[in-house]
Amino acid sequence: MLKVTNLHARVDDKAILTGLDLEIGAGEVHAIMGPNGSGKSTLANVLAGRDGYEVTEGTVEYDGQDLLALAPEERARRGVFLAFQYPVEIPGVNNAYLLKAALNAIRAHRGEPELDAFEFLALVKERMELMHMDESFLNRGVNEGFSGGEKKRNEILQMAILEPRLAVLDETDSGLDIDALKVVAAGVNSLRDPERAIVMVTHYQRLLDYIEPDYVHVLSGGRIVKTGDRTLALELEDRGYDWLREAASV
Amino acid sequence: MTTAPATRDQRRLSPAEASFAATWADRGPGNDGATALRARGFAAFEASGLPAGRREAWKYTSLRALARREFRPAGPVRAPRPEDLAALDIEGLDGLRAVFINGRLVPELSDLDGDDGLQIVPLSDALAERGHRALEIAGSIACVDTHPLAALNQAFVGDGVFIGVSPGAAPSRPLHLMFLSLDGGSPVAAHPRVVVDAAPESALVLIEHYTGRGEIRNLTNAVTELRLGHGAVVEHYRLQEEPATGFHIGGLHGWLERDARLISHNLHFGAALARLDVGVSLAEPGAEVVLNGLYLVDGKRHVDNHTRVDHLAPETRSDELYRGVVDDRGRAVFNGKAVVHPDAQKIEAHQSNRNLLLSREAEVDTKPELEIYADDVKCSHGATVGQLDRNALFYLLSRGISRKVARDMLTFAFAETVAVRIPLAAVRRRIEARIAGALPDARMIGHGVEDEA
Ligand SMILES: Nc1ncnc2c1ncn2[C@@H]1O[C@H](COP(=O)(O)OP(=O)(O)OP(=O)(O)O)[C@@H](O)[C@H]1O
Ligand SMILES: [Mg+2]
């Protein structure tokens, strides 16, 4: 589904990704771990198409297409979804309006009719229940005054409603209490699907107890320096990253 | 032939000034109670002429295009058609209505039968009545020496209304003043004046609504004076939606006594050139003014808001929030001044002006000013000019929303901050529909439907 080859990217003239390779198939769940500042969010942003990131080398193929040639909204309509590490607050636009605008844009792209108000509300309410979110969140400004954990839950709610093909979750587990982590994990697990791929960026092995990944990658110094199964996460918990950094630099 | 010494009389008049002088000469000062007012207004305008860039207050706003036009006197130039009148309605607003066409009251179209305690009288009638309150208030709050266009308005004083609210009265319906500017060949200059006398402990909701039809090239030069007795509360709206070819100049001048409260919403969506001067004097302790402003400026339009609040007494409060969205080659000017006079201790004065620039050719000049001559005061002011928040824009794009819709949503969000401060639901919905532009389901975007009054 996704094939990243020798990706180099820079921000403000600073090279951050330095030859990253990653391949993800439909139905798979991948975890990406790695030290602070190693480039995990950069990779997520490059995939989603944020401006300011300059790809200087390499390719990204998504469903056989050149992903990098597409505008961010085009990527989203084709099923790429980024759950942000720091979701933005947009006071003045309510959550329900954003969800409806996004869902209808994506449905229009798929050639599906717009949902009417009734169908939309039914869908949203069902998914909100799944995320243990109160309906009052619908009428509030997008992320406005949401607690850190509520923002993360709201990201997964959007994912549950938009039903992407490729979801990249950037530290969705950070800032969640134990109960919220279980709720979010259950939400993500319910979206596991043979047609859908999920990439989780995380610092904590605990998330992987709830959402079992097929692969674990270590991103360090702008590259994937090691790939393994979920036992790699346990090893990292034990040993940290230093041994890999040394391995990477030889 | 003799050559008189060069005096200001011989300064070359612009076509506009010459047409004002000719109209004034034709009409004469009259012989009613307004005579002295007109003469004084005309003298002040003759002395100043149309303001030019030499004046600090007109540094960024040029009246050159206006000066080049010749204007004929106020009054309907043609009979209004049903579609003209439809433009006046604000959906869902149930108010008393006074319709003015090119400045002149049209009684047949108006419904002025208010409750007890509310008096609505054509201003010319009020000024003709010996001892009427209108004679006391008109010209006493809007200063002709500092506001040349208010002087011009006063030179022609007569069109407009006097609104009196009796002590303790609170009319049940808002009063909707509809000013319709119609085209009819040569440009018309209208100088309506609204004089409000809100007696102690009274309450009034007043909407001044300026619209027009067609490619008008008219000048609306409208002055409002409000006197609020102790404890009076006036909720005031000035909704300016003139066609993008017209000139709209206005003044809003208030005098507030003990514990009076004025909430004024100044909403500019139209006119090629719009300029509004707001001047509020907080004359006695406990007086409070809230100024709420919103302007959308696109095309090659120009909108200038000048506000001045004088804290003349201790324990007075002012709170001003103006926001503007400037697109295309539009230009916006904001100048907000708060003056805290000596001995006006324990006052609060807050002011904020924020501007959203949507195009590289749009321009904003903003200047908040504080002059403080007392020491125990709480003041804040700030002004910003910025672009759409890139992070928020990316957030919306990353959800599949188109760039155009994302931009409109963020623009809406920016302007909504002002719209939510509008208590009258019918007006707020109209504003929200405007700031939502082409967005679908505009009624759902901000506060959804849960807050319908
Ligand atoms: N706009 C920018 N200008 C300069 N440097 C940037 C910019 N954005 C990111 N960086 C730098 O790029 C590097 C990688 O950042 P990135 O956010 O991808 O790290 P990360 O792996 O997600 O880290 P964390 O685990 O802390 O979230 C960091 O050193 C960061 O400071
Ligand atoms: Mg990160």
Backbone phi and psi for residue B42, each to the nearest 5 degrees, phi listed first: -65, -40
Q: What is the pLDDT averaged over residues B251-264? A: 98
Whether residue B449 has pLDDT greater than 60: no
Beta-carbon separation of B445 and A82 below 8 A: no
Of all helices (H) and strands (E), which one includes residue B200?
none
Domains contained in chain B, number: 2
Determine which residue's CA is closest to atom 6 belonging to ligand 1. A11
Q: Which residues line ligand 1 (CB under 6 A)?
A: A 11-12, 14, 16, 34, 36-42, 85
Q: Which pLDDT score, from 0 to 100, does residue A237 have?
A: 86
Q: Which pLDDT score, from 0 to 100, does residue B2 have?
A: 43
In order along its 250 residues, chain A shows pLDDT tens digits of 999 999 999 999 999 999 999 999 999 999 999 999 999 999 999 999 999 999 999 999 999 999 999 999 999 999 999 999 999 999 989 999 999 999 999 999 999 999 998 999 999 999 999 999 999 999 999 999 999 999 999 999 999 999 999 999 999 999 899 999 999 999 999 999 999 999 999 999 899 999 999 999 999 999 999 999 999 988 888 888 888 875 555 4
Residue A221 token pair? 């110094």
Query: What residues are paired with B308 via a beta bridge?
Result: B279, B337
Where is the domain boundary, B284, B310, B334?
B284
Query: What residues are paired with B262 via a beta bridge?
Result: B234, B289
Q: Which pLDDT score, from 0 to 100, does residue A102 have?
A: 97
User: CB-based contacts of B219: which residues, under 8 Å, 6+ apart?
Assistant: B16, B66, B69, B71, B187, B188, B189, B190, B246, B247, B248, B249
Same domain for B393 and B260, yes or no, is no
For the stretch B320-371, pLDDT in tens is 999 999 999 999 999 999 999 999 999 999 999 999 999 999 999 999 999 9
Nearest CA in chain A to B405: A101
Chain A environment of B412 (Cβ under 8 Å): 92-93
Backbone phi and psi for residue B402, each to the nearest 5 degrees, phi listed first: -70, 160
Same domain for B268 and B394, yes or no, is no
For the stretch B66-114, pLDDT in tens is 999 999 988 777 888 898 888 889 999 999 999 999 999 999 999 888 7
Same domain for B268 and B392, yes or no, is no
Q: Are the C-beta atoms of A241 and A203 separated by less than 8 Å?
A: no
Q: Which pLDDT score, from 0 to 100, does residue A175 have?
A: 87
For the stretch B393-404, pLDDT in tens is 999 999 999 999
Q: Which pLDDT score, from 0 to 100, does residue A249 have?
A: 54
CA of B407 to the centre of ligand 2 (A): 26
Q: Which pLDDT score, from 0 to 100, does residue B38 have?
A: 94
- The CA-to-CA distance between both ends of chain A, in Å, stands at 31
Residues in chain A: 250
Q: Which pLDDT score, from 0 to 100, does residue B30 have?
A: 64
Question: Residue B371 domain-assigned?
Answer: no
Of all helices (H) and strands (E), which one includes residue A103?
helix A95-109
Q: Are the C-beta atoms of B67 and B14 separated by less than 8 Å?
A: yes
Q: Which pLDDT score, from 0 to 100, does residue B32 have?
A: 74
Determine which residue's CA is closest to atom 18 belonging to ligand 1. A39
Q: What is the pLDDT averaged over residues B143-159? A: 95
Where is the domain boundary, B254, B284, B314?
B284
Q: Which of A50, A51, A76 sits opposite B400 (nearest CB)?
A: A76
Q: Are the C-beta atoms of B334 and B321 separated by less than 8 Å?
A: no
Chain B environment of A73 (Cβ under 8 Å): 397-398, 400-403, 406
> What ipTM score was computed for the predicted complex, to two decimals?
0.96
Q: Which of A48, A73, A90 sits opposite B413 (nearest CB)?
A: A90
Same domain for B178 and B30, yes or no, is yes
Q: Give one word for B354, left, alpha or beta, with left for phi > 0 and alpha for psi -120 to 50.
A: beta
Question: Residue B304 domain-assigned?
Answer: no
Structural domain of B440:
388-453
In this prediction the pTM is: 0.91
Q: Which pLDDT score, from 0 to 100, does residue B452 have?
A: 40
CA nearest to B352, candidates B377, B327, B318: B318
Atom of ligand 1 nearest to the CA of A85: 27
Atom of ligand 1 nearest to the CA of A38: 21
Q: What is the pLDDT averaged over residues B296-310? A: 97
Atom of ligand 1 nearest to the CA of A45: 18
C-alpha B127/C-alpha A157 separation (Å) is 65
Q: What is the DSSP string of B55-117?
A: SGGGSS---HHHHTS--BPSS-SSPPPHHHHHTT--TT---EEEEEETTEE-GGG-B----TT
CATH code assigned to A2-249: 3.40.50.300
- 3-class DSSP assignment, residue B154: helix
Question: Residue B1 domain-assigned?
Answer: no
Question: Residue B439 domain-assigned?
Answer: yes
C-alpha B323/C-alpha B77 separation (Å) is 36
Chain B environment of A158 (Cβ under 8 Å): 399
Beta-carbon separation of A49 and B413 below 8 A: no
Averaged pLDDT of chain B = 92
* pLDDT band, residue B444 (cuts 50/70/90): confident
Same domain for B16 and B150, yes or no, is yes
Question: Residue B367 domain-assigned?
Answer: no
Determine which residue's CA is closest to atom 30 belonging to ligand 1. A37
C-alpha B396/C-alpha B402 separation (Å) is 8
Q: Which pLDDT score, from 0 to 100, does residue A241 have?
A: 87
- 3-class DSSP assignment, residue B2: coil
Residue B340 token pair? 């805290």
Q: Which pLDDT score, from 0 to 100, does residue B453 have?
A: 36
All structural domains of chain A with their residue ranges: 2-249
**Which is higher by pLDDT, B184 or B448?**
B184
Q: Which of A76, A96, A139 sits opposite B399 (nearest CB)?
A: A76
| Number of neighbouring beta carbons within 10 Å of residue B255 | 23
Q: Are the C-beta atoms of B222 and B189 separated by less than 8 Å?
A: no
